[in-house]
Chains A and B, each alone.
Chain A
Amino acid sequence: MSVSVLEIDGFLLASIQESLEDSVALQLRRDLLEGLRRTKAPGVLIDVSGVDVVDSFTARLLSEIGRAARLMGAVTVLVGLRPEVAMTMVGLDLELRDVLTELDVERGLERLRHRARADRKREW
């Protein structure tokens, strides 16, 4: 099983549908960062609405993706975190660094578009 990385509206989208094996999660990290290099997308969306467990390994991996993407010049937005998963992360004191969060893919895309527009304005 693997997670496919799609291009949507100039951004990268990875939808994680179920519980990931560690090696698949590490493969996803490689695929996303390689995808950034290839497409020059300014942002990454990671949809975790299908994920039922985020443990310390997964949280660290997501933060690492966010940080590496940021170093490459792209923004990472995590979307669709389930309420019970979010609450468990609070209970574990797990933090996601270097990633933004939105409720769903639509809101995440809007955030990335808004950011891309603001960046263009600044360049002028």
Chain B
Amino acid sequence: MPLRVEADIVLARKHARELAAALGFGLLEQVEIATAVSELARNVIQYAGVGEIVLEPVVEGSRRGLGLVCRDEGPGIADVDLVLAGGYSTGRGLGRGLRGSRLLLDEFDIATAPGRGTTVRGRKWLR
């Protein structure tokens, strides 16, 4: 789904929660997934302006779960390791949002560079 305006953050987390529930995630995990999506979607709106987030069921061997890809063509991040380590803050919470979503998901991968946009891939597995 597209991320263009602030209201899309609310839609994205609602969609995430509904998909998580449909896939069989428990209440806590539904909220964790929705919260991670909220952090990522807000980063896109605040720092890149526009982007998109794709949420889908994933299957890998006997594991099932929820996968997400959040992508934007924004300014990108110069030192993402520093941001994820908590040593960097823009004052508006870019680092906190990324760290938060990483904590809430089982798998988290970020590809970014200055001028090249940012793509975050995440997964959470059913237990």
Q: Which residues of A contact B38 (CB under 8 A)?
A: 53, 55, 57
Q: Which of A19, A60, A82 has the most CB of B within 10 A?
A: A19
A56-B39 Cα distance, complex, nearest whole Å: 7
A57-B42, A91-B103, A92-B100 known; A52+B9 contact, CB < 8 A? no
The yes or no answer to B28 lying at the interface (CB within 8 A) is yes
- For the A-B complex, the count of residue pairs with Cβ-Cβ distances under 8 Å equals 60
Inter-chain contact B100/A55, CB cutoff 8 Å: yes
Interface size on A, residues (CB 8 A): 21
Tell me which of A21, A60, A92, A93 contacts B9 (CB under 8 A): A21
Beta-carbon contact of B9 and A56 below 8 Å = no
CA A94 to CA B39, docked complex, whole Å: 13
At the interface, yes or no: A54 with Cβ under 8 Å from chain B? yes
Other than A87-B31, A88-B28, A92-B100, give 14 A-B pairs with Cβ distance below 8 A: A19-B10, A20-B10, A21-B9, A21-B10, A52-B31, A53-B17, A53-B35, A55-B39, A56-B97, A57-B38, A60-B93, A88-B31, A88-B35, A91-B103
Q: Which residues of B contact A87 (CB under 8 A)?
A: 28, 31
Bound Cα distance A84, B31 (Å): 7
- The chain A residue with its CB closest to the CB of B92 is A57
Minimum Cβ distance to chain B for residue A30 (Å)? 16
Which chain A residues border B27 with CB–CB below 8 Å?
84
Q: Which residues of B contact A23 (CB under 8 A)?
A: 6
Chain B contacts with A in 57-105, Cβ cutoff 8 A? 93, 96-97, 100, 103-104
Known contacts A19-B14, A21-B9; is A91 also within 8 Å of B34 by CB? Answer: no
Closest 4 CB pairs of A and B: A55-B38, A84-B28, A84-B31, A56-B96
Closest partner residue, chain A, to B28 (CB atom): A84
CB distance from B33 to the nearest CB of A (A): 10
- A–B complex contacts, Cβ < 8 Å, 9 sampled: A21-B6, A23-B6, A53-B35, A55-B39, A55-B42, A56-B97, A57-B93, A92-B100, A92-B104
- B13 within 8 Å of A (CB atoms): yes
